[in-house]
Amino acid sequence: MIARRRDAALMPLLRQIGCATMAATLALAPPTTAQGRPPADYANVQLPDPAKEAEATALMATLRCLVCQGQAIIDSDADMAGDMRSLVRQRIAAGESANEVRDWLIARYGDYVTYDPPVSPVTLPLWLAPIVLLAFGVWIARASFRRRNR
Amino acid sequence: MRRWLLWLPLAIFTVVVVFAVRELRKPSDRTVYSAMVGKAVPAFDLPPILSGKPGLSAGDLRAGQPRLLNIFASWCVPCIAEAPQLMKLKAMGIPIDAVAIRDSDTAIAQFLKRHGDPYARVGDDKNSQVQLSLGSSGVPETFVVDGRGIIVKQHVGDIRDEDVAALAEAWRKAR
């Protein structure tokens, strides 16, 4: 059972080798992807309309690169991140709003794909915890100040 | 001060410890699963990547028969590892279609010649757009699609020998 888990842990690693080979080939080769394909349209090219590009850039900074977890797609050199940037820019250019594109991706990958998690029963404690802790702190502070004044 | 309040910090601490121990004992599953399981395959129409083998559209996946949809690429190492298992599934009479991610005709032809060709159709997904619309986060991945085009199961990663039975079972149940 444990051995099997370890095997399973190897998988994401193999899937990420794409990222590593990319970095290696980048040093030698002209701009093509690890698999020798040129990058997708608008993967590394800005949209002609600056307002749309700004909207796309802001969105891309909050979307997770699924193969190099922990990075946003705007920061990642992975081929899949490039393809996701291409998708985001083309959808924004076609007139979709940033929220529509985010919802489209959430419908496919779940909340995991966004770094800006929506309020839901699962994330509610995350949003409420700071408020509750702050109120608790105020309550303690009030009680102890009152005691000192006495 | 009420007495029971004295125990509150200890109670919170215990909850944290129990949570930490439980999470440390079973490492979290980092696999990214598709949220499309249970939903219809989104509309797409991919051109063929090989001459002599048709491309793939969403319509092909709701033709009445359940099928396997394999997301793969010739440049993907685990795809080589799962090739014999796909051949086994094909030998069981299970139809398998494929989407080739960011690939070229010559590389795919070579890959299928070397590792076997279990596919009825292979669509050419140049910029991963169909992969993204399926909620797939890497290669290889395999979807079981029923005769009405509804995704009933997703297998992330290469198909091992021990996974063959479960995939065949899911395909059988989808009929």
Which of A27-36, A92-101, B88-97, B150-159 is least confident?
A27-36
User: How high is the pLDDT of residue A34?
Assistant: 55
- CATH number of domain containing A71: 1.10.8.640
Judgement on whether residues A132 and A62 belong to the same structural domain of the protein: no
User: How high is the pLDDT of residue A135?
Assistant: 96
Cβ-proximal residues to A141 (8 Å cutoff; 6+ apart), any chain: none
Domain that holds residue A148: 119-150
Judgement on whether residues A96 and A81 belong to the same structural domain of the protein: yes
Total domains, chain A: 2
B28 pLDDT band, cuts 50/70/90, is confident
Judgement on whether residues A52 and A78 belong to the same structural domain of the protein: yes
ipTM over 0.90: no
Using the predicted structure, report yes or no on whether residue B27 has a pLDDT greater than 90. no
Judgement on whether residues A105 and A125 belong to the same structural domain of the protein: no
Judgement on whether residues A95 and A146 belong to the same structural domain of the protein: no
User: How high is the pLDDT of residue B1?
Assistant: 62
Verify whether the Cβ–Cβ distance A109 to B129 is below 8 Å. Answer: no
Question: Is B65 at the interface with chain A, CB within 8 A?
Answer: no
Contact between A58 and A101 under an 8 Å Cβ cutoff? The reply is no
Which of A3-17, A79-93, A108-122 tops mean pLDDT? A79-93
Q: How far is it, in rounded angstroms, from Cα B35 to Cα B22?
A: 26
Using the predicted structure, report yes or no on whether residue A20 has a pLDDT greater than 90. no
- DSSP assignment of B92-159: TT--EEEEEES--HHHHHHHHHHH----SEEEEETTSHHHHHTT--SSSEEEEE-TTSBEEEEEESPP
Using the predicted structure, report yes or no on whether residue A136 has a pLDDT greater than 50. yes
More confident residue, A4 or B79: B79
Which of A8-22, A55-69, A130-144, B160-174 is least confident?
A8-22
User: How high is the pLDDT of residue A84?
Assistant: 96
Q: How far is it, in rounded angstroms, from Cα B7 to Cα B15?
A: 13
Among partner residues B27, B128, B158, which is closest to A80 by beta-carbon distance?
A: B128
Using the predicted structure, report yes or no on whether residue B84 has a pLDDT greater than 60. yes
User: How high is the pLDDT of residue A126?
Assistant: 86
Residue of A16, A108, A132 for testing the chain B interface, max B β-carbons within 10 Å: A108
Judgement on whether residues A98 and A149 belong to the same structural domain of the protein: no
Residues in chain A with CB shorter than 8 Å from the CB of B77 are 14, 17
For residue A137, give Cα distances in angstroms to A32, A140, A145, A146, B5: 55, 5, 12, 14, 15
Judgement on whether residues A15 and A54 belong to the same structural domain of the protein: yes
Judgement on whether residues A80 and A127 belong to the same structural domain of the protein: no
* Domains of chain B, CATH where assigned: 45-173 (3.40.30.10)
User: How high is the pLDDT of residue A120?
Assistant: 83
Among partner residues A17, A37, A106, which is closest to B77 by beta-carbon distance?
A: A17
